[in-house]
Structure 1
């Protein structure tokens, strides 16, 4: 027998006797302010989200809002912004985090012109995209832009899983990568190594960390390709490697050893200028001992 529910079915007395576990407050957030959007976490496919196990600070709530906090850094091929992902009016642990949003520019707005030497040996999944890239068509330029984002996303994931000191990659969506914000001991953005003047002990520690990281990369068959004191972050006593879109395959790129030698020269020149007795040829030899 059907029953017609009316306003008389649930009285104030019934409501008063409801188990509190079934009672919740509901608040709608229909209007977002300038520089805000709903979290894009669920908009991307699972493979576009960071590797597991994920750090506990990653916010995955569908109710979260992304808020632009301002520009962090401008670069040759992309700009980095600070972005807060938070559940409104929530003070719960794990419901708010500040991340870096790295956004790649379209090809005509980039100043990074050495793409061909870096991308040698890479493959494009779809033949249509590969043809468009070779023809340098409008679609090809769009593909090229997203390829740099995907390249860095893939590199960050691989390096993170190798245990290397890189920002945790949260997600990728088109030409935007969300990643961990690296901070110093005071909770501010960690400076580039080039902006620091570490004491001799810390300087030596930084170099040892860097040599170990580069050896791990070479052992995995990859090279940074554009390494210098400007894409290393000094996060307190820890050195963090950033800016990985041009990562080079050691076996598949005929210029790989030249890139590795240049990386060694760049970093050794900086450390040597600060008083550390290091040599790029010695570093190169040490790293090649780890190759494959």
Structure 2
């Protein structure tokens, strides 16, 4: 039986505002996938305050940032419609590993030494490089980069904050300068005190990796971003276990050689063998 009661008699703690939201009406839009992924597929805590977790948020693809043989990086806005508040609107980088078109990294067998695939069917498919095998491999590379990002972020290494992984797509912090993509170190011409400051940042970052038992494996000025005066290391799917990979030391020395050669060309006297020795001492 229904009883009529004046609205003013209703306890305000039981009153809430309701707003109906329209479905995304653009081919480049979708509802936020934040809550559709498993908790372990979300970034480590404490999370930055710009991470959008609202169920009302919509993901809008803004365009492509970078394309390559193995993956493409898009700009993606996650925002609550009509809101510009921090924590309700952000632009991120969406890295999507290719599946059917995926081609393995050069010398990928050396990078993946020590990896294991639990399902024998998957392992056979990857080895045979079948269509299904390439899809499995794409998932492995995405998972490897996600693991590296979360591990290194927690260790204090300057990497983009990993927001979430969903299959072969990783959403991560968009590293920018005044709203534009931060340049690669190779595109910049720092000199004087800044050059030395940047090398010390890189030495510290490589030391943190070494203490964690890994090397980047493909470090060069092309996968280091310069955001104002801050270095950020990117492209981490091939991170190498120094103890578990027989070629781990070779990869570490190559990383040292690549970065030291660039700094020397800019006028800073640094030695890759000295850096390698320092990192080895921290690793073991």
Q: Give the match for residue 141 of structure 2.
A: 148
Q: CA deviation at 1:10?
A: 4.8
Match 2:214 to one of 201, 219, 222: 222
For normalisation by structure 2, the TM-score amounts to 0.93
Whole-angstrom CA distance in 2 between matches of 1:118 and 1:254 = 10
Find the residue that maps to 1:124 and give its secondary structure.
Answer: coil
In the alignment, is the contact (CA less than 8 A) between 2:61 and 2:74 conserved in 1? yes
2:73 to 62, 80, 91: 80
Q: Does 1:95 align with 2:88?
A: yes
Is the Cα–Cα contact under 8 Å of residues 219 and 259 in structure 2 kept in the other structure? yes
Are the aligned partners of 2:202 and 2:231 in contact in 1 as well (CA < 8 Å)?
yes
Q: Which of 120, 128, 133 is the equivalent residue of 1:135?
A: 128
Q: Distance in 1 between matches of 2:146 and 2:172?
A: 9
Larger mean CA deviation between 278-287 and 219-228 belongs to: 278-287
Unaligned ranges ≥5, structure 2: none
Aligned equivalent of 2:193: 201
Structure 1 counterpart of 2:164: 171
Contact 2:191 2:266 in 1 (8 A): no
Residue 44 of structure 2: SS of its match in structure 1? coil
Change (3 A) 1:255 1:10: same
Q: What is the TM-score when the length of structure 1 is the normalising length?
A: 0.91
Q: Is the CA contact 1:107–1:144 (under 8 Å) kept in the aligned structure 2?
A: no
- Once residues 31 and 80 of structure 1 are traced to their aligned partners in structure 2, the CA distance between those partners, rounded to angstroms, is 22
CA distance in 2, matches of 1:10, 1:38: 39
Supply the RMSD in Å over aligned alpha carbons: 1.8
Deviation at 1:56, TM superposition (A): 1.1
Out of 89, 105, 123, the position equivalent to 2:98 is 105
User: SS state of the match for residue 182, structure 2?
Assistant: coil
SS at match of 1:290: helix
Residues in 2 aligned to 1:183 and 1:130: alpha-carbon distance in whole angstroms: 39
User: Matched residues in 2 for 1:255 and 1:72: separation?
Assistant: 32
Task: State how far apart, in whole Å, the 2-side matches of 1:92 and 1:214 are.
Answer: 36
Q: Determine the structure 2 residue equivalent to 1:271.
A: 263
In structure 2, distance between residues paired with 1:213 and 1:144: 28
SS in 2 for 1:153: helix
Against the structure 1 CA distance between its residues 288 and 112, is the aligned structure 2 distance closer, same or farther, given a 3 Å change threshold? same
Aligned residue pairs, count: 283
